[in-house]
Structure 1
């Protein structure tokens, strides 16, 4: 056996893996910052080296063969291991006084940043570098040490500390909730009549929020009028303040608006199916800044009313 045949070059493997994942030479080329013809030639070179057909070609469309699909799965796993090992090598000399943390944008702006000065007062020699992102953190390929995320707590391969059990409140511009204000005086629970004619605003990352809220009160979800969706919770909050519609948001993210009467929450808070978590890979579990930040977060949230 020719051992060179068993170890194709990295450029050939990257071109093949991206092409198989996207089922497109064009999209693979965009990802790899190459031309479409260059990616196509690299895939053809790999097929010639292996003497295997990795794709069937139907016009401009490419479809991995059964062999190509199985090979892609193995190569993808191997590339993830290589990227993870390289990332660890590159970050091994990073200062032990810094921690790179990804956080949800609205949580970071509305809750974390207003309190972070207390962490620095307790740990003046430590540094938290914050990165706002909505998508899931990939510790194998991204230069991150930890992340604050929301979900059900089931993330394989990471340590997860539950920070806060999410509670959702219905909020609206006080001028836009006349029926809801009347309902508040009559009863603690909403009715279809109290919400009739109001537009339900949604966050795309939690499409079942209104369904869960309606189920809690025994209301028919389909009887309410769905409205625009938003990528960021902060944008939804701004839309509610502007009177575009009503929204469901975590209570801890609208405390200021409720205290200042810019928003009204006429009904009781409802527990959601999600919680906020601090997650991190095993490689940083003893990192001194991670330990200090984790302990500070848990202490801050334990002091929440």
Structure 2
């Protein structure tokens, strides 16, 4: 096997990748600051080297062949790794030991992390934490991040994961919504107080309520019902929200009731905007601080991780 054939020059690869991404030699040339004919010649050279047609040409229009699409998928990921590695190398000197790029769940960041972050800066005035919101799983091989706060079962490949705390789901609603559903049973008197009422939920106590959901945790209501032995198909599921913060606002606006991590609604429960008539339920998920092995000994990461663990221990 000719290994030179397996390692085309970077100029050929860049010309192909840009052409496949734009499906245009002209736009690829503009991106690479080359002429259209130069890009076309480089792609032709690559095709001749590989002995494979990478594009179907129809006048000025180009479309990747099946082989071209497969090659683009693998090559695109490899070039992303190279670019990210280069960015890290270029930024390492300026970032030094005190700069950290952390992805966090949006609502956790807004409701728990940001209100406490000033204490971290008071302890470590030389630190700089760049926060990035992420709902989806973080891929450290393709995204320029040093660490992340994620929720799940702790089984992520190729990362170091520190469990922060076990999620506790609490059913929340406005006092008005819960009060409207508390009709007295025959021969019994309705209880007047909703806040603080933590008796066991029953289907009749949930009838008529719209159950709001968070898209990233579709099994929340099923888990909650299973905990109390309730049939989940007896409940009416309502709208779904991408962000937990949006669900919380919808509950305050009396659109329905929701299941959320208790730590994210402490303020609303304390000031009476929301109430929770049932005890919190343990979730199948936990929150984790995760990072790739390559950043394990990063001084800023160590400082941030230890501070988060202390803050969570104190809040519990």
TM-score, length basis structure 2: 0.79
2:197, 2:277 within 8 Å by CA — same for their partners in 1?
no
Give unmatched runs, 5+ long, in structure 2.
Answer: 184-189
Cα offset for 1:128? 1.8
1:254: which partner in 2?
Answer: 265
After superposition, where does 1:1-305 map in structure 2 within 5 Å? 3=4, 6-7=7-8, 9-15=12-18, 18=21, 25=23, 45=44, 46-54=46-54, 65=66, 71=71, 74-76=74-76, 78-93=78-93, 94-178=95-179, 179=181, 188-305=199-316
SS of residue matched to 1:177: helix
**In 2, distance between residues paired with 1:214 and 1:171?**
15
Q: Given the superposition, is the C-alpha separation of residues 153 and 187 from structure 1 closer, same or farther in structure 2, using an over 3 Å criterion?
A: closer
Change (3 A) 1:206 1:186: closer
Aligned residues: 291
Q: Which 4+ runs in 1 deviate beyond 6 A?
A: 40-44, 60-63, 183-187
- The answer to whether the 8 A contact 1:17-1:75 is kept is no
Counterparts of 1:241 and 1:42 in 2: how far apart (Å)?
Answer: 62
Q: Whole-Å Cα distance in 2 between the matches of residues 141 and 4 of structure 1?
A: 26
CA-CA distance at 1:260 after TM superposition: 0.9
Assess, with a 3 A threshold, how the Cα gap between structure 1 residues 98 and 187 changes in structure 2: closer, same or farther: closer
| TM value normalised by structure 1 | 0.82
**Structure 1 vs Structure 2 CA RMSD:** 3.4
Deviation per residue, 1:149-206 (Å, 9 max, x gap): 1111122122111111111000001100133696979872211111111111111111
Q: How big is the shift at 1:231?
A: 1.1
Q: 1:201/1:217 Cα in 2 relative to 1: closer, same or farther (>3 Å)? A: same
